[in-house]
Structure 1
Amino acid sequence: MRAFAIFAGIALIGAMIFTVISFSSSPATQQAADQPRRETLQERLKRLPGDYRGWAELGLQYVDQARVTGDPAFYTKAEGALATAAKLNGRDDTVLTGQAALAAGRHEFKDAVRLAESAIDANPYGAPAYGVLADARTQLGDLKGAQQAVDKMLGLRPGVAAFARASYAAELRGDRDAAREYLEYAHADAFSPADLAYSRYYLGELALHAGDLKTATGWYAKALQAYPAYTPALAGQARAAALDGRLTEALDLYDTVINRLPLPQYLIEQGETRIKAGQRADWTLLDAQRKLFQAAGVRDDLTWAEFLADHGDAGQAVKHARAEYARNPNLVAADALAWALFKSGKPAEALRYAEEATATGWQNPLITYHRAKIEQALGRSARVDPGFDPTLSALARFS
């Protein structure tokens, strides 16, 4: 899900949370580009330690680095820089937006909403704060409030960031045509290699989840033409190859993806592809990444609920899913709880959450499959898409 996967290296785990500074990037090239910029900013802050917006910008850069590298240690650095900015001027909208971005990156979405709204109170014309607000409200299941924030952002600063959020909002209400149209607007507006790659990648994701592997593969290739180091597009190629039965090619691609960016989502996809190819999945690195995120203060019960329901202890999956849904009652959390309950032998209780996950008309193949299996277990008539492969369920999660 595009808006979850969204601010942290966790971004790509079920959604997409956008950063405030840069909209899309890859670890290899973005780090190379950002490093001298950050050093220059740090030098400036040594000369001008009272520059609160400079400290806020540094914090935002660290938040972005956590997202593109998958290294949650950057959140701790962001926290320090933003704390300094807040001490100097805690009412500035840039500082508040940075704090909201950090809260969203750590999946503290209620705090993100509060801080983003404070930033908007300080400066009603600051488009980035509306972007963070839209993302956080989506995570909290407030789709109406998220749409209002998206509309405000479109009015203030129509561009890649606003169009992509509008696309995601349309997709969640089941309007694939509008979702594609907004992404095409984003693509037309993009001029940097990163923005071109980003918009092309998500056009590929729309096609992939509609079952059009050929079109999806074409968009992923075009994304890499614009930005060869854009790892999500490489992961998209791996996904498409696996779903097309080209497992050896997919695993070779996943090896490159994991070497660049060992996010939990990619590790789970690689593991499932290995199982499909008759190999053993090794979840050691996944467990290590989980501990790193926990140490950095990132709460991500969603990933572990989804993973454990398919590959571990269903009872523990329910525990994580309930915790996630209690904090963030969104569509993906409802689906995760439904599936965990089903896998733990409770289809009657699961049905309520499966119905909630599909109530908006969102045409996601994974949640559609989950609901159909739950309804079948209850003796209801439900059609399971014969083209959906449940052994590769992680590949159907929207990144």
Structure 2
Amino acid sequence: MENEQRSPGTSLVAERRRRRSPVLRRALIASAAGCAMVGGLLWLLPEEPRPAPPPAPGPKTQALTAVTAGVPAALPDLAALIGDREARVRADPRDARSWAVLGVAYVEQGRRTGDALYYPKADDALHLSLKVRAKGNDASAVAMDGLTALANERRDFRAARTWGEAAVKLAPKRWTTYPLLIDAYTGLGDYKATRRTLEKLQELHSGPAVMARAAEVYRDRGWREDAAAQLADAAAGATAPAEQAAWWQRAGELAWERGDREVALRHFEAAVRIDPDQREALAGEGRALAALGRTSEALNAYQVALAKQPTPQYALELGELYESLGLTQAARVQYDTLRTLVTRDTAGGVDDELVLGAFEADHGDARDAVRRLRAEWARQPGIPVADALGWALHRAGQDAEALKFASVATDKVHGGGARDALYAFHRGMIEQDLDKTASARRHLQEALQINPYFSPLRVPLAQQVLAALGEPAAEPLPSDKETQDKEPQEKSG
């Protein structure tokens, strides 16, 4: 039986197959045999070697890339880089670049672990790099960046400004110096310089690190939506897990500041999932979980964060959470821990006067807090110091002067543009004691609108004071007679 074929544009019934001539058939068979032989030979030939993909960068390389670009580095990678550079400077004590990289790595290790005793080691390494440097290499620029970062971590913003400006003068197109200068100018309350430096940074470079720095400046100006967008883009664009986790942690902080507990918790959890060593995000989880009423989980998150990155701020927050739960003895343990950590930080050259002053104002000696914070204001008059000093003055009974500093912290024209619930709460409480009822009511309401969960101790107090202030008195509408009496009289004749 003959086969039928269907093909486009032909009859449905195939024509009878035509018989090929014997010569044509022999030629086709020979051709097919030849193709089979060639194919077999090709199969037997060795495959052309393909270029191997480049090896993935090792831990030392990844950490080196991160620290020289001013972005967070993974702790295991940092340890590998530090070990490598320590070996290099032992072998060649005049290796200026290795000394510079080692110093920068020590700064990052101290920041990420909360161990301020890395900072003197960083200081020594960075100054040695400058001492043994040779002309024509970039060790000086790396070392100056490191000294700027070190001064920022120690909260010595004047020194950070000095080193950062010297680094810019040496290498004006080196973009990594500008984010460090932004931190220094912000700490000194020089917001015009901060904005100017950000503009220069954005001209020189783009990418996740620049977006994250822009987000911080936008946050300080009260541009929350812009800040959130920048951080989301930074997290999406980051390639290294430690960097991506850092940007998600900052996005969580921004969500927390506006009282968005669930979003903040998701961002913090994402940061910890990407980088389990992201301890700032662990503390953030503690804040968000406490606000969600998940108290046991909140306490556990804080305890883990404090164990892995012991900082005075975490001890203060955990102590206040215990105090809000009526666990006064557990709170005292954390407050004692805070004082111990401040002593340790001081040995590492860190200025903890801001957190210690805030603690003393609420839980210790308010007059001592005023003394400490006045000195801090003289050194570095940033917005957080203005707020803390204003509150300390209030707690010490000096409300008239306290209001001046609280006003600076909430002044949207001269730098205090950040919408911060704690700042608004402090100002409202000071105004309430000064019998400025309308303004007190407005600022306390603002605090609770910005973030209804900003503090486990202060939110109930704000609600209590607002209830005592009551609603503003309703002004009666003027009567017809009063209206007529106020109308101008027409002149006669």
TM-score (normalised: structure 2): 0.72
Question: How far does residue 389 in structure 1 lie from its aligned partner after superposition?
Answer: 5.7
1:1-399 equivalent positions in 2, closer than 5 A: 22-24=70-72, 30-89=74-133, 92-279=140-327, 280=329, 281=331, 282=333, 283-360=335-412, 361-380=417-436, 381=438, 382-383=440-441, 384-385=444-445, 386=448, 387-388=452-453, 390-392=455-457
Write the distance in 2 (CA, Å) between the matches of 1:208 and 1:95: 35
Deviates more, 1:102-111 or 1:75-84: 102-111
1:244 Cα deviation after fit: 2.4
Q: Aligned in 2, Cα 1:392/1:226: closer, same or farther, shift over 3 Å?
A: farther
Distance of 1:139 and 1:389 partners within structure 2: 23
Q: Distance in 1 between matches of 2:380 and 2:228?
A: 27
Question: What CA distance in whole angstroms lies between the structure 1 residues aligned with 2:72 and 2:390?
Answer: 32
- Mark the CA change 1:272 to 1:121 in structure 2 (over 3 Å): closer, same or farther: same
- Counterpart Cα distance in 2 of 1:292 and 1:173: 34
**Could you tell me how far apart the structure 1 residues matched to 2:68 and 2:180 are?**
7
Farther off after superposition, 151-160 or 88-97 = 88-97
Q: Which stretches in structure 1 are left out of the alignment for 5+ residues?
A: 1-17, 395-399
- Point out the more displaced range, 346-355 or 225-234: 225-234
Q: Which moved more, 1:117-126 or 1:214-223?
A: 214-223
**Shift of the alpha carbon at 1:90?**
9.0
**In 1, Cα distance between equivalents of 2:407 and 2:171:** 39
Out of 242-251 and 79-88, give the one that drifted further. Answer: 242-251
C-alpha change, 1:24 and 1:261, in structure 2 (3 Å) is same
Amino acid at match of 1:299: D
Q: Deviations over 1:273-322 (max 9, x none)?
A: 11112212112221111111111222221111111111111111111111
Contact 1:339 1:350 (C-alpha < 8 Å) held by counterparts: yes
Aligned partners of 1:390, 1:32: CA distance in 2, in Å? 34
C-alpha RMSD of matched pairs (Å):
2.0
**Structure 1 counterpart of 2:337, one-letter code:** L
- Residue type at the aligned position of 2:251: L
Q: Residue type of the partner of 2:174?
A: G
1:24 to partner: Cα distance: 3.0
Given that 1:21 and 1:64 are in contact with CA atoms closer than 8 Å, whether structure 2 keeps it comes out as no
- How many residue pairs get aligned? The number is 373
Contact 2:141 2:171 in 1 (8 A): yes
Please list every run of 5 or more consecutive structure 2 residues that lacks an aligned counterpart in the other structure: 1-65, 460-493
SS of 1:127's partner is coil
Give yes or no for contact 1:20–1:132 (8 Å, CA) kept in 2.
Answer: no
Tell me if the contact between 2:245 and 2:278 (Cα under 8 Å) persists in the aligned partners: yes
| Cα distance in 2 for residues equivalent to 1:132 and 1:166 | 12
Contact 2:94 2:133 in 1 (8 A): no
CA contact (8 A) 2:421 2:454 kept: no
* Residue identity opposite 1:155 in structure 2: E
Supply the distance in 2 between the matched residues of 1:44 and 1:251 (Cα, whole angstroms).
43
- Measured in 1, the distance between the counterparts of 2:175 and 2:325 equals 46
Give the secondary structure class of the aligned counterpart of 2:176: helix
In 2, the alpha carbon distance for the partners of 1:375 and 1:90 equals: 60
Distance 1:84 1:122 in 2: 18
Q: Distance in 2 between matches of 1:104 and 1:393?
A: 30
Distance 1:213 1:169, change over 3 A: same
